[in-house]
Amino acid sequence: MELDLKRARSETPGCQHVLHFNNAGAALMPQAVLDAVVGHLRLEAEIGGYEAASQAGDIIERVYEAAAQLLGCHSDEIAIVENATRAWGMAFYAISFQPGDRILTAMSEYASNYIAFLQVARRTGAVVEVIPNDEHGQLSVEALRAMLDERVRLIAITHVPTNGGLVNPAAEVGQIAREVGALYLLDACQSVGQMPIDVQAIGCDLLSATGRKYLRGPRGTGLLYVRREVLDQVEPPLLDLHAATWTSADSYQLRPDARRFENWETNTAGKIGLGVAIEYALGWGLEAIYRRVTALATDLRGRLAAMPAVTVQDQGIERCGIVTFTVAQRAAEAIHAVLAARRINVSTSLLTSTRLDMEARGLQSVVRASVHYYNDGDEVERFCAALEETIMAGPAPDEDQVMEQFARFPRRK
């Protein structure tokens, strides 16, 4: 079934204002999400924050059910937190590493995750090892197999990296993790919301995701999946009176479910908005969403590849909605700035976000144009026309200044 594009666009207020190819940064919220967030904030203002949360109790429970449906798990395996980094960190820092334990990761691992590996390796004597890529630029399943032994404690990889359309073979990795008895933590920050994700089929024990990217939820929301069977093998690095109960002067008891990875105070309006965003995505169907996203991205890549000055930088056998490219003799930041001045939203992915991969490919930065199902063919055409004009015009005399000004804005991820 084709997705009703007209409805998708009419339910997305931002479509009237911008050409938004920054869905891997933060997608445009649908009206239903906006209404849910604003509605709850209004209720908080009118009757009080605690009272509003209590009144919305059933709606809040539904957020967990929706997330469970999205990922193919049980609602007691879901924790709702502030963002993907917090979700991932709560899971990773919950693992007790011993000297010599091996952490296997991949070339396209996200900076925040890798920094955490380095910190934990320094603290505990665990070692971090990187699985090489295969000839397609995705994690090599063969190479992973060759690296296995009983000291592999954790396999932690990124499903879709921040800097390209690559989709790593997550389910093959899950199969291997099970065979070797290692924990498997999947950073699904860029994949959840744009493609079907089934934690049973993938075989991961822990999965992190964010609300504002392909799920189209509000900022400041994220979620963590923790498989029931591993819940008692991983102890949250931070506890509070929501994660645990103070049972006597010198004891406490952890919650029985994944919410032990949450903390008490939370952005309830955001959480409700996240639930509505997930239900909205489920309403369209993740298969249909992914079909449309990949069709648009393939069209965009084809058009970009036909421009002599442009090099498409995406890798992998399967490629998703994130399209990255470089332009000869022009900094990615400059292209980003010129397009932004025309109300065309893209972002720039820098070496420091995925250092191993960018260094291996000799890239400093890439322009990232990430499409979603509510984008249309006309936008792809307008985008390409604007890019061609930008290339034809050459660097503006003040391009250095423009870039400097641009760099003062918070860095887009």
Which ranges of 306-365 does DSSP label H, i.e. alpha helix?
Answer: 332-341, 355-360
Q: Measured between alpha carbons, how far is 103 from 113 in angstroms, rounded to an integer?
A: 12
Q: Measured between alpha carbons, how far is 312 from 326 in angstroms, rounded to an integer?
A: 7
Per CB under 6 A, the list member of 12, 133, 194, 210 interacting with ligand PLP is 210
Burial code (b: 16+ CB inside 10 Å, e: under 16) for 190-213 equals bbbbbbbbebeebbbbbbbbbbbb
216 binds ligand PLP (CB under 6 A): no
Q: Measured between alpha carbons, how far is 149 from 127 in angstroms, rounded to an integer?
A: 13
85 binds ligand PLP (CB under 6 A): yes
Piece in contact with ligand PLP (CB under 6 A), picked from 96-104, 132-140, 184-192, 239-247: 184-192
190 binds ligand PLP (CB under 6 A): yes
The candidate with the shortest Cα–Cα distance to 278, out of 207, 206, 347, 197, is: 197
Q: Closer CB to ligand PLP, residue 84 or residue 331?
A: 84
333 binds ligand PLP (CB under 6 A): no
324 binds ligand PLP (CB under 6 A): no
Per CB under 6 A, the list member of 8, 19, 41, 84 interacting with ligand PLP is 84
H or E segment to which residue 251 belongs:
strand 251-254
Per CB under 6 A, the list member of 23, 158, 168, 347 interacting with ligand PLP is 158
CB 269 → ligand PLP: shortest distance, Å? Answer: 17
349 binds ligand PLP (CB under 6 A): no
Distance between the two ends of the chain, CA-based, in angstroms? 33
Q: Measured between alpha carbons, how far is 195 from 285 in angstroms, rounded to an integer?
A: 9
191 binds ligand PLP (CB under 6 A): no
161 binds ligand PLP (CB under 6 A): yes
Per CB under 6 A, the list member of 104, 173, 189, 312 interacting with ligand PLP is 189
Q: Closer CB to ligand PLP, residue 154 or residue 189?
A: 189
263 CB-near residues (< 8 Å, 6+ apart): 81, 238, 240, 242, 243
Site size toward ligand PLP (CB under 6 A) is 13
Residues that bind ligand PLP (CB under 6 A): 83-85, 110, 158, 161-162, 187, 189-190, 210, 222, 413
